[in-house]
Amino acid sequence: MNPRLASEIVSLTLEHLWLVLIAIGVAALIAIPAAVALTRRAAIRRWMLGLANILQTVPSLALFGFLLPLPFIGGIGRHTAIIALCLYALLPILRNTLVGVLGVDPAVRESAVAMGMTGNQILWQVELPLAVPAILAGLRIATVTTIGTATVAAAIGAGGLGVFIFRGIATVDTATILAGAVPAAIMALAADEGLEWIEKRLSPA
């Protein structure tokens, strides 16, 4: 393999990873607190989940296209891609956090209240620790899908491994497509395995 291609693979892989990490990080910072707030508000929970569901169904290429003409958040480049990836990552994290917190055994929650724990104490000492495996599963699903979706980000000039794939398609060059697809697939597998390992380690009993 020629050294120029090798170094391009490395730099685009890092760029790709960076896109994914920022998107997942921002999505988690939004979705986890939002989910916690929604566990206390059954009435709007359905609406918010519905909204997140709808976002998920918009085809990724179309979503990138929709964002392009928007002022401030749109335009060619990395930040538009991060916003789009972030929107996709919201749903799995939101849904899994909800499932995790709402899935806490009612007897456990009832005794927490009856023992005189405050709402905050119940959240931080009981509900969130017990929801950790579900939240991590959500992060894992979000990360794996985002690694795939992020290849499309190259279409709006955000870089990443999609650059190889689009270049390969344009030049009908399978080797170039593989130079983008294989590292992306390896990254997805590694993220899946790694996060699953952490999930198992942190599971309470």
Partner 1 sequence: MQCAVLEIRDLTYRIGERSILREVSLEAREGETVVLLGRSGCGKTTLLKCVNGLLPPASGEIRFQGRTLSEWDPISLRRRIGYVIQDAGLFPHWTVAANIGLVPKLEKWEPGAIAARVDLLLDTVGLPPAQFARRHPHELSGGQKQRVGIARALAAEPPLLLLDEPFAALDPITRYELQRQFVSLLRATASGSGKAALFVTHDVREALLLATRIVLLKDGMIDVMASPGEFLSARTEEARAFLSGLDTPQHESAPGF
By CB under 8 A, tell whether 113 contacts partner 1: yes
Tokens encoding 63: 């979503």
Near partner 1 by CB under 8 A, which window of 21-29, 31-39, 67-75, 109-117?
A: 109-117
Task: Note the Cα 141 to chain centre separation in Å.
Answer: 7
Contacts of 64 (CB under 8 A, 6+ apart): 80, 81, 84, 152, 153, 155, 156
**Residue found by looking up tokens 């009435």 in the block:** 43
Minimum distance, C-beta of residue 119 to partner 1, in the bound complex (Å): 10
Query: Which helix or strand (DSSP H or E) is residue 184 part of?
Result: helix 174-202
d(CA 193, CA 131): 20
Q: What crossing angle do the helices spanning 60-67 and 78-102 adopt, rounded to 10°?
A: 120
> What's the chain's length in residues?
205
| 121 lies in the site for partner 1, by CB under 8 A | yes
Can residue 120 be called a binding residue for partner 1 (CB under 8 A)?
no
The reply to whether 130 sits near partner 1 by the rule CB under 8 A is yes
CB of 164 to partner 1, least distance (A): 45
The answer to whether 131 contacts partner 1 (rule: CB under 8 A) is: no
In the bound state with partner 1, the residue whose beta carbon lies nearer, of 57 and 120, is: 120
> Applying CB under 8 A, does 69 fall inside the site for partner 1?
no
Nearer to partner 1, 26 or 122 (CB): 122
Which residues make up the interface to partner 1 (CB under 8 A)?
105, 107-108, 110-118, 121, 126, 129-130, 204-205
